[in-house]
Structure 1
Amino acid sequence: MNEQQRYAIIVGIDGSPSSQDALRWAVGQARRTDGEITAVMVWDTPALYDWPLQTAEQLDRVTDETLRKVVRESVDEDDLARIHTQVARGHPAKALLRAAESADLLVVGRRGQGGFSPALLGSISQYCVSHAPCPVVVVRDQRPRSRDGSQGG
Structure 2
Amino acid sequence: MTERTWQRVDIDGGVAVGLENSASALRALTAAAEEAKCRNTVLHIVRAWSIRTAPKPRDCPPGAVPSTEQYEQSVLADTHQLVSETLGGDPGCPVEVHVVHSPSPQALLSASRGADMLVVGHRGRGGFSGLLLGAVAEQCVRHASCPVLVVRPSM
Report the structure, 1 or 2, having the larger helix content.
Answer: 1
Partners of 2:107 and 2:99 lie apart in 1 by 10
- Look up the match of 2:37: 31
Q: Which runs of 5+ in 2 are unaligned?
A: 1-11, 54-62
Partners of 1:35 and 1:14 lie apart in 2 by 22
What TM-score do you get using the length of structure 2 for normalisation? 0.75
Does residue 1:110 correspond to 2:116, yes or no? Answer: no
Q: Secondary structure at the match of 1:19?
A: helix
User: Per-residue CA shift, 1:71-129, capped at 9, x if unaligned?
Assistant: 00011322165221110012111111112221111101123865x404x8x71000111
* Worse-matched range after superposition: 55-64 or 77-86: 77-86
Structure 1 consecutive aligned stretches of length 4 or more whose deviation exceeds 3 Å:
111-114
Partners of 1:117 and 1:52 lie apart in 2 by 37
| Percent of aligned positions that are identical | 30
Q: Tell me, yes or no, if the aligned pair for 1:18 and 1:142 is still in contact at 8 Å.
A: no
Q: Which runs of 5+ in 1 are unaligned?
A: 1-5, 144-153
Q: Secondary structure at the match of 1:102?
A: coil
Which of 38, 47, 57 is the equivalent residue of 1:41?
A: 47
How many residues are paired up? 132
Q: Secondary structure at the match of 1:26?
A: helix
What TM-score do you get using the length of structure 1 for normalisation? 0.75
Q: Tell me, yes or no, if the aligned pair for 2:118 and 2:149 is still in contact at 8 Å.
A: yes
Larger relative contact order (C-alpha < 8 A, sep ≥ 6)? 2
Give the RMSD, CA atoms, in angstroms: 2.6
